[in-house]
A = this chain, B = another copy of it.
Amino acid sequence: MTDLRFFDRAGPYSLDELAALSGARLSDAAAGERPFSDVAPLETAGPQDVTFLDNRKYVEAFVQSRAGAAFVDERFAERAPAGMALLLTAQPYKAFARAAQAFYPAEPVTPRVASSAIIDPTATVPADCDIGPYVLIEAGVRLGARCQIGAHTVIGRAVELGDDCRIGAHVTLSHCLIGARVVLHPGVRIGQPGFGFAPDAEGPIKIPQLGRVVIGDDVDIGANTTIDRGSGHDTVIGPSTMIDNLVQIGHNVVLGRGCILAGQVGISGSTKLGDFVMAGGQAGLAGHLTIGSGARIAAKAGLMRDVAPGETVCGSPAVPIASFMKQVAILQRLAKKKDGR
């Protein structure tokens, strides 16, 4: 059960309500009024809880689950334990997401300006924003409506945020324009100068970094991730892009819409990604590459060439997944042969 010291729960919701808000279909329409009080994972859910099955790996846990109801694909329905109400859907994870959002809606923003916050008189801070303790907001900053700014966060000169942004504690923002509904987790660094210098016998000569970071609507950026501002062009993060923790984005990088970057990914300067590109954890992309929309870059890949739209690449140096699988298979076979097997 979710620890209610940390979370505020709404509900209860009836099965009918859960079906309506998630688009799922009840296996037993007669049970529609049965109320549920929480969501929970397969292993810990009880009779009052709604759970879900999305990953074939967890079918056994589904069979054993004590959950009162579950979002599940029709093909697993017959494996359900007796008495479990089924919310049938082709997309159980998405349906569960909607239910969980209903039980745990985002906390509303309570207007406040902490007395320890320092706000430059030329900054625009709507009265419905929540400005936490020790926040620093510099000259010319413009916040949208209902923004929440976490404790100690520093927003540098002229930075702009759209409506309904949720900025965590200990974030630093400079030289950037940020869209609406953007979520930044603690320790995010946006807008510092990129890594640009010309080699010289006397020591590197730094190139002034004169671009910005432009972040689209509905972007989510993980803890301690760093995004450098452009050198002349802007660094751009497309709308609805999700970036995990400890990711490094170099100057002039452009990410399209709906990209997903897992933890510790690194993208070198001036590389451009289309829409809905996915990169697995610790993938590294060299600079000045072009990655087509819908491309998938495997975890740990070391990418040194352009990638066509929709292509999947793996390995380091990264190659198309079919080539990668062959290389792996050949190496394994040769290694066995050497063994006399």
A residues near B, CB below 8 A?
2-3, 5-7, 39-41, 43-44, 55, 57, 91, 93-94, 96-98, 100-101, 103-104, 116, 118, 132-134, 136, 140, 150-152, 154, 157-158, 168-170, 172, 174-175, 185-187, 189, 192-193, 195, 197-200, 202-208, 210-212, 218, 220, 222-224, 226, 228, 231-233, 239-240, 242, 244-246, 248, 250, 257-258, 260, 262-264, 266, 268, 281-282, 284, 286, 288, 299-300, 302, 304, 315-317, 319, 323, 326-332, 334-335, 338-339
Contact = CB atoms under 8 A, between A and B. Distances in A.
A104 B210 contact: yes
B248 A245 contact: yes
A323 B299 contact: no
Contacts of A40: 232
A295 to B, nearest CB: 15
In this complex, the member of A55, A246, A286 whose beta carbon has the largest number of chain B beta carbons within 10 angstroms is A246
Q: Which 8 A-B pairs have the closest CB atoms?
A: A203-B240, A300-B302, A5-B158, A41-B232, A94-B198, A326-B335, A189-B223, A248-B263
A284 to B, nearest CB: 4
